[in-house]
Copies of this chain bind each other. A is one copy, B any other.
Amino acid sequence: MQRAGGAEQDGLRSITCLVTGGVGFIGSNLVHTLVALGATVRVVDALVAGHGGDIRNVAGVDVDVLTTGIGDPAVADLVDGADIIFNLAGQVSHTASMSDPLADLELNAVDHARLLETIRRVNPEVRVVHASTRQVYGRVATLPADELTAANPVDVNGVAKLAGEQLHMVYAQAYGLRATSLRLSNVYGPRQRLTSNELGFLPVFIRKALLNETIEIFGDGSQRRDCLHVDDVVHALLTATDERAVGRIYNVGNQRDHPLSEIAAMIVAAAESDHGVQYVPWPLDHQRIDIGSFRTDSHRIREELGWSSSTELSDGVKQTVAFYRENPWYLSSI
């Protein structure tokens, strides 16, 4: 991995970090890294059922966890005195955002306004790195999508996440809050919730292959996606604490993309699954919010901060499969 700027380079021994959503997939991987680097880590996580948070994700790690939402005034105590806030809390299911739009708006936008108000009041100098998603782009006019491509979200999740990141930028602009937002691509790796079919295609593919079940792909599998190993995301989050990133939005994607058919084949091979892939017609409700092939242009973060993804998909998939073989409870109980 490259080591360019940001908190990682400087060492974290005297640093206090607050990680919101810190027992979820990306959050818990970040917490493991932060603690290993010597940081003092605080976590707030609402542990909403089905959102991917599980306290076992941080088992054995020296970290304090407050179980509540980021809009809770009690979070002020964790914000106070923090040097960096990694703001990863949110709802990530696109289908859930359509069945309960109000909850998604609340968790991905309104609660972030509450947190930003808390930060402004309690600790206006803190560094804030927010996790957004490439889902904000939706179905765009031209690919690859860079940060100047007009967002056209196709689900409530994309609308609410975009509002959440824009709130960070407004607070940076209007109040000098030192905030950055990263639009993360399709993330996979250890500590991801695998049992749901609603949290993206990667955990579903991985679960099916590990359980020796057939992976179903809607359509012909020619749609392309770029996949990011969670280690690369953790590295991007640390890199984004660089002072040059204040007030900026960055795409965080893998420069290499693959058709879904190829991604599935790699996962099947890594898991040594006897069952391959089956191509099935699109369900109507999925087709309506499908965006076809998608490619992120991440040149801004590469050029401005020196970050790029370093995990090849085939390597990342092998490492991920090995993790779940060693931690089989992810296949059934999270």
Partner of A289, one of B102, B113, B163, B174: B174
Q: Which of A131-189 contact B (CB under 8 A)?
A: 141, 147-156, 158-160, 162-163, 166-167, 169-170, 173-175
Q: In the complex, what distance in Å separates the CA atom of A166 from the CA atom of B166?
A: 14
Asked if B173 and A288 make an inter-chain contact with CB atoms under 8 angstroms apart, the answer reads yes
A109 nearest CB across to chain B (Å): 6
Asked if A159 and B163 make an inter-chain contact with CB atoms under 8 angstroms apart, the answer reads yes
Given contacts A101-B117, A114-B102, contact A156 B141 (CB under 8 A): no
Asked if B110 and A110 make an inter-chain contact with CB atoms under 8 angstroms apart, the answer reads yes
Asked if B156 and A101 make an inter-chain contact with CB atoms under 8 angstroms apart, the answer reads no
Judge if A211 is at the interface, Cβ distance under 8 Å.
Answer: no
CB-based nearest B residue for A157: B170
Main secondary structure of the interface of A (DSSP, over half): helix
Partner of A153, one of B152, B166, B289: B166
Judge if A313 is at the interface, Cβ distance under 8 Å.
Answer: no
Judge if A59 is at the interface, Cβ distance under 8 Å.
Answer: no
Q: In the complex, what distance in Å separates the CA atom of A160 from the CA atom of B167?
A: 9
Judge if A84 is at the interface, Cβ distance under 8 Å.
Answer: no
Asked if A155 and B169 make an inter-chain contact with CB atoms under 8 angstroms apart, the answer reads no
Given contacts A105-B113, A289-B173, contact A156 B167 (CB under 8 A): yes
Which residues from B are CB-within-8-Å of A170?
Answer: 153-156, 158-159
Given contacts A150-B148, A174-B289, A288-B173, contact A167 B101 (CB under 8 A): yes
Judge if A98 is at the interface, Cβ distance under 8 Å.
Answer: yes
Which residues from B are CB-within-8-Å of A153?
Answer: 166, 169-170
A123 nearest CB across to chain B (Å): 18
Which residues from B are CB-within-8-Å of A149?
Answer: 150
Q: In the complex, what distance in Å separates the CA atom of A28 from the CA atom of B243?
A: 49
Which residues from B are CB-within-8-Å of A158?
Answer: 166, 170
Q: In the complex, what distance in Å separates the CA atom of A196 from the CA atom of B248?
A: 34
Which residues from B are CB-within-8-Å of A155?
Answer: 170, 174
Q: In the complex, what distance in Å separates the CA atom of A288 from the CA atom of B156?
A: 30
Asked if B174 and A288 make an inter-chain contact with CB atoms under 8 angstroms apart, the answer reads yes
Interface membership of chain A positions 286-309, coded 1 if the CB is closer than 8 angstroms to chain B and 0 otherwise: 001100000000000000000000
Which residues from B are CB-within-8-Å of A156?
Answer: 113, 167, 170
Given contacts A109-B163, A110-B105, contact A174 B154 (CB under 8 A): yes
Asked if B152 and A150 make an inter-chain contact with CB atoms under 8 angstroms apart, the answer reads no
A300 nearest CB across to chain B (Å): 12
Pairs A-B, 10 closest by C-beta atoms = A163-B163, A159-B166, A101-B113, A150-B150, A148-B150, A174-B288, A105-B110, A159-B163, A141-B148, A174-B289
Extra contacts besides A102-B113, A110-B110, A175-B288 (20): CB < 8 Å: A98-B174, A101-B116, A101-B117, A105-B105, A105-B109, A105-B113, A109-B163, A150-B150, A150-B151, A151-B166, A152-B169, A153-B166, A154-B170, A154-B173, A155-B170, A156-B167, A156-B170, A160-B163, A162-B166, A163-B163
